[in-house]
């Protein structure tokens, strides 16, 4: 597979991550709350893993005889999202969350785990919606490029 096609796959895999990152930066809460470092780290992991998976996996998918670029992009984005949620869970087990003062008391282990699960429940549907749209657009471009 040509490098340019792998770059297109990488860009369309990372597009939803860039949207989430832009929303985060636009929120205006940068540096004001204790959780800012955690979510900034998770979003950077999401962007970098999306770009890496989007560049590395298309060749593997072709070897596995998976000839649908929309499925490549969707699977790559889903793997990146899963990795980001795993990193969020790990970071919320550290002092970045546990023991922080949240204005009505200190966060405990259960609250940090609850916030990890809640983040996954709230943000997964919009991410998947954006990933499907990005996958379909990327599929059209890659189909033209690969023919």
Q: What pLDDT digit, counting tens, does each position of 10-31 carry?
A: 999 999 999 999 998 888 766 6
Q: What pLDDT digit, counting tens, does each position of 73-113 carry?
A: 899 999 999 999 999 999 999 888 888 777 777 878 888 89
Rounded alpha-carbon distances, angstroms, from residue 106 to 98, 99, 116, 118 = 8, 5, 16, 18
31 φ/ψ angles, rounded to the nearest 5 degrees? 75, -5
Q: What is the mean pLDDT of residues 47-62?
A: 89
How many structural domains does the chain have?
A: 1
Q: Which two tokens stand for residue 110?
A: 């259960």
Rounded alpha-carbon distances, angstroms, from residue 11 to 51, 64, 118 = 7, 22, 28
Q: What pLDDT digit, counting tens, does each position of 104-141 carry?
A: 778 788 888 998 999 999 999 999 999 999 999 988 88
CA distance 6 to 24: 27
Instruction: Compute the radius of gyration of the chain from its Cα atoms.
Output: 17
* Residue-range definition of the domain harbouring residue 38: 3-146
């Amino acid at each position: 597979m040509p490098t340019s096609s792998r770059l297109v796959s990488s860009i369309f895999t990372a597009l939803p991550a860039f949207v989430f990152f832009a929303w985060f930066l636009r929120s205006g809460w940068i540096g004001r709350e204790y959780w800012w470092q955690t979510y900034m780290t998770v979003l950077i992991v999401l962007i970098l893993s999306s770009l890496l998976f989007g560049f590395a996996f298309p060749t593997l998918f072709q070897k596995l005889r998976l000839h649908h670029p929309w499925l490549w992009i969707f699977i790559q984005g889903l793997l990146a999202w899963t990795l980001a949620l795993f990193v969020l869970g790990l970071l919320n087990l550290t002092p970045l969350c546990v023991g922080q003062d949240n204005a009505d008391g200190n966060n405990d282990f259960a609250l940090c785990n609850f916030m990890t699960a809640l983040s996954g429940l709230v943000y997964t549907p919009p991410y998947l919606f954006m990933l499907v749209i990005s996958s379909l657009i990327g599929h059209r471009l890659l189909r033209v490029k690969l023919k």
